[in-house]
Amino acid sequence: MCAPGDSQDADFAIYLDYGIDCCFGNPGDLVISENGIVLRSRWRFPLGTQLAIRICAHPVGPEDCPVCEDVTGMVVSCERIEERYPSFEATILFLDVTEPAQEGLGRVADRLELTDQIS
């Protein structure tokens, strides 16, 4: 689950509203598609919430730098997925599905797949 804390073991970071809150996670916590994302996190969003999100895939090696993309999306689903700990699965549809945004998200997704294969 994407959670606050140490980013050292995380593969990606999600920043909300220009860095006001963030969480770190691993590829199983995030699914990226051309139209939106599905995110498992501690955040609970009301339906219809509009979010400014920055998604950053962490560097694979010491020579790399993070790969990031800024998107705007709207929450279309947010379900509790675990009773014991507050965790939710949110589906967020992108409002800006321009070609440059899709290419940037493709680079983030590619990095996360590469990170998953190396680990």
Q: Domain residues of the chain, as ranges?
A: 12-118
Q: Which two tokens stand for residue 3?
A: 């959670």
Phi (first) and psi of residue 33, to 5 degrees: -125, 180
The verdict on domain 12-118 having CATH code 3.40.50 is no
Q: Which residues pair with 62 in a beta bridge?
A: none
Average the pLDDT over 94-105 and give the result: 87
Look up the pTM and report it.
Answer: 0.86
The rounded percent of the chain whose pLDDT value lies above 70 is 92
Q: Which residues pair with 95 in a beta bridge?
A: none
Give the pLDDT band of residue 21 (cuts 50, 70, 90): very high
Tell me, what's the pLDDT at 20? 82
With CA atoms as reference, report the closest residue to 17 among 47, 54, 69, 45: 54
Q: Are strands 50-57 and 36-41 parallel, antiparallel or unpaired?
A: unpaired
In the chain the first and final C-alpha atoms are separated, in Å, by 17
With CA atoms as reference, report the closest residue to 37 among 89, 84, 92: 92
